[in-house]
Amino acid sequence: MIILLLRHGESEGDLMDVHEGRADFPLTDRGREQAGKAAKWISKNYSVNRIYSSTLLRAEETASLVSMETKVPIELREGLMEFNNGKLAGIDREEAKRKYPEIPDLPIHESRYEMESKLEFRFRAEAILSEIISNNKEQEVVVVISHGGMINQLLLAYEKQPIESEIWHATGDTGIHCLRYENGKRGILYLNNTKHLEIV
C-alpha cells in the first residue's frame, strides 16, 4: 500500500500569522494554485484508489482539487483535523503569548486553555492510521489530506516513535510524504516532496 500524506495549500491564516489549529480559514489564491499543482502531480504519478480528508476548509478545498484530478471521491474524517488548540484558535501569536502563556512540563494526559492533550492528539493519529492500514488493500494508493501537526503525528505513529519524541517532520504547503506499507513492514519512500510546485 502506498500512503500519500498531503498537507493543504497556503491558507489565509498563514498570512495573518495567527494560531490556526481549529480556526477554519480557506485557502488563498496561491494555496489553490499549490493544491492544483499537487493534484496534477499525484494524478500523473499514481493511480489513486481512495482519498481521506480533514473536515477543515483549507484541507477540504485541497482535497476537492485532488478529487477532481483523480476522479476519486473524498471521504471526510474529523479525526484528521489539526490539533485542537482551544482558546488559541485564530488568535494573533503575540496576543496569545500574553493571554495564554505556555505551561512547561505539562503531563501528556493534561491540557490547558480548552486544548486537547498531547495524548489525545496522538490517539487520533493512531486511530486514523489503523483505519487506513486495516481498510485498504496492499496494492492500493491512498491519499490523506491533513495539516502539518496531524501529519507529523501520523508519521510518528507510523514510525512507532514515542509520544514525546524529539523528532519533528517539517511539512511545507502541499508537501507530500510517501509511505509504503507492505507485508506488515513500514517503509518511507520520501518526505516533504514539493517538486510539483516547480511546475510552471
Q: What are phi and psi of 142, to 5 degrees?
A: -120, 130
Active-site residues, by number, are 8, 82
Distance CA 177, CA 105 (A): 31
Quick check: 41 and 178 in contact, CB under 8 A?
no
Question: What are the cell numbers at 108?
Answer: 501528556
Residue 186 assigned as binding residue: no
Contact 11, 182 (CB under 8 A): no
Annotated binding-site residues read: 58
Annotated binding-site residues for substrate read: 58
